[in-house]
């Protein structure tokens, strides 16, 4: 039988420990109260256990960053009806958590592919019903549990085409699982850094725009939410490269009234977090904008935000790229070489300028996510490919019987390899 839960309200009560129940299957009110007991020592221990925490033990621990994240009531919609799964149902849905159904692993634990019956929690045969992604929390305690609660709280009530859909959850004894819509193409991280075929320019723009819309939605409500963990592995892609943000475990209600920021302990991922946030713990929506700038740079360059395998001056992407971003003539040197000349000339200019502004050291100088969406939207329609411009120049020059100086000093062989490239299909518009 289908079990439904009007989740936000119930969980909110439950995490505050206000309700008691002995039946863990039928209630989310059974989160062990002991797991919610906090003191500075346990907190620091758990923080250090997570690869996403950046807080040194002696950094201020703000009491406002309480263990039970209570999200703002969204102005978006009524709470989504989340399904409550039993552990047995999810075990069956994932073929007993088979290793070959693992989609990925993060700090939270493994993510498995599974199948459930449409409109219910019952497991379905592989390939039938609805495909889902099941995230199972490693049994390592408080930090994971806290993120699990935050995820259910936020995603239970925030609905937007650019946020991943949370279908339901499982809380049973020590087990904590989350069930999401399955995102066919996995994460942006996979596409940018792990695949042999480079992601075409038009898809990069589409993804950047989708992710920007997701953040703009979070920031734009009457009670804004700061995402805090914007990075390529948290941007998931459907079959048409629509981007959806996942992982709200670190999300936080934003400042209210005249306040410009909230003070919190520092969490997030190295290489993405805004410098003022790392240094002071002051968190604002402009911290997300900085992280967006880092991801935009990764999209532009095909380089990771932190890469220990590169020479010392190039390991930190922002540090390496900043001088190029600041100079209009140099920005083309940043472009992912795997794209060859299959990128929009004006697009690269605009994206570089945007990344430069997002990465401003002064948070107030960074654009808002709404402004970013406005800049990115027209870039989808640009057809001024560097390759076209190169060929136009070459043929002009050939006509004049002059030796081609080549826009990018390309040899004949290079030029041929570009023409034959799978990226050079002549179809660069992604809609």
Residue 151 within binding range of Mg ion, rule CB under 5 A:
no
308 is in an annotated binding site: no
Residue 268 within binding range of ligand ATP, rule CB under 6 A:
no
Cα–Cα distance between 395 and 1 in angstroms, integer? 69
Partner residues linked to 169 by β-bridges: 84, 178
To the query of whether residue 384 is one of the catalytic residues in this protein, the response is no
Ranges within 198-237 binding ligand ATP (CB under 6 A): 233-234, 236
* Total interface residues for Mg ion by CB under 5 A: 3
The H-assigned helical ranges of 52-120 are 87-93
Q: Is 263 left (phi over 0), alpha (psi -120 to 50) or beta?
A: beta
Residue 26 has which token pair? 């039928």
With CB under 5 A as the contact rule, the residue among 136, 162, 232, 234 that binds Mg ion is 234
Closest CA to 79 of 155, 160, 178: 155
With CB under 6 A as the contact rule, the residue among 187, 242, 301, 305 that binds ligand ATP is 187
70 alpha carbon, distance to own chain's centre: 21
Cβ at position 99, least distance to Mg ion in Å:
20
Closest CA to 226 of 257, 248, 259: 248
Residue 28 within binding range of ligand ATP, rule CB under 6 A:
no
Closest CA to 296 of 229, 190, 428, 207: 207
Residue 353 has which token pair? 């300028």
Candidates 98-106, 194-202, 380-388, 415-423: pick the segment binding ligand ATP (CB under 6 A). Answer: 98-106
With CB under 6 A as the contact rule, the residue among 49, 70, 103, 430 that binds ligand ATP is 103
Could you say which of 153, 229, 247, 288 is catalytic? 229
Cβ at position 384, least distance to Mg ion in Å:
35
b/e burial code for range 348-384 (CB count within 10 A of at least 16 → b): bebbbebbbbbbbeebeebbebeebbebbeebbebee
Cβ at position 99, least distance to ligand ATP in Å:
14
| Residue nearest Mg ion, CB atom distance | 247
Q: Which residues are annotated as a binding site for ATP?
A: 135
**Interface residues with Mg ion (CB under 5 A)?**
106, 234, 247
Interface residues with ligand ATP (CB under 6 A)?
A: 52, 103-108, 111, 133, 135, 164, 180, 182-183, 186-187, 189-190, 233-234, 236, 246-247
Active site residues: 229
Q: Residue positions in the annotated binding site? A: 135
């Amino acid at each position: 039988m289908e079990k439904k839960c009007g989740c936000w309200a119930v969980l909110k009560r439950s995490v505050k420990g206000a309700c008691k129940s002995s039946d863990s299957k039928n209630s989310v009110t059974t989160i062990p109260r002991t797991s919610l007991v906090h003191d500075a020592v346990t907190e620091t221990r758990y923080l250090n256990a997570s690869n996403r925490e950046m807080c040194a033990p002696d950094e201020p621990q703000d009491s406002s960053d309480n263990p039970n994240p209570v999200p703002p009531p969204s102005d978006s919609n009524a709470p989504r009806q989340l399904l409550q799964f039993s552990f047995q149902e999810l075990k069956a849905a994932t073929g007993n958590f088979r290793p070959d159904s693992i989609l990925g692993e993060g700090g939270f634990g493994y993510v498995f592919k599974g199948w459930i019956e449409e409109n219910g929690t019952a497991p379905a045969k592989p390939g039938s019903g609805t495909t889902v992604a099941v995230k199972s929390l490693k049994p390592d305690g408080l930090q994971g549990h806290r993120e699990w609660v935050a995820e259910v709280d936020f995603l239970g009530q925030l609905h937007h085409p650019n946020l991943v859909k949370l279908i339901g959850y499982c809380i049973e004894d020590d087990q904590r699982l989350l069930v999401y819509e399955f995102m066919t193409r996995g994460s942006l991280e996979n596409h940018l850094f792990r695949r042999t075929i480079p992601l075409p320019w038009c898809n990069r723009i589409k993804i950047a725009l989708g992710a920007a819309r997701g953040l703009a939605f979070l920031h734009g409500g009457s009670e804004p939410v700061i995402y805090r963990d914007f990075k390529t592995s948290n941007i998931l892609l459907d079959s048409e490269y629509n981007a959806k943000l996942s992982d709200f475990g670190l999300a936080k209600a934003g400042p209210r009234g005249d306040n410009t920021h909230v003070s919190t302990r520092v969490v997030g991922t190295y290489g993405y977090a805004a410098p003022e946030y790392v240094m002071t713990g002051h968190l604002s929506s402009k911290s997300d904008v900085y992280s967006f700038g880092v991801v935009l740079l990764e999209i532009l360059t095909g380089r990771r935000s932190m890469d220990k395998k590169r020479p010392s001056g190039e390991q930190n992407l922002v540090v390496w790229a900043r001088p190029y971003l600041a100079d209009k003539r140099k920005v083309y040197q940043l472009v992912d070489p795997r794209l060859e000349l299959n990128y929009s000339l004006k697009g690269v200019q605009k994206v570089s300028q945007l990344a430069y502004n997002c990465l401003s050291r002064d948070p107030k100088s960074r654009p808002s996510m709404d402004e970013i969406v406005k800049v990115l939207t027209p870039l989808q329609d640009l057809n001024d490919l560097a390759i076209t411009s190169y060929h136009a120049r070459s043929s002009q020059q050939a006509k004049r019987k002059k030796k081609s100086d080549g826009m990018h000093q390309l040899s004949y062989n290079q030029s041929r390899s570009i023409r034959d490239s799978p990226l050079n299909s002549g179809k660069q518009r992604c809609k």
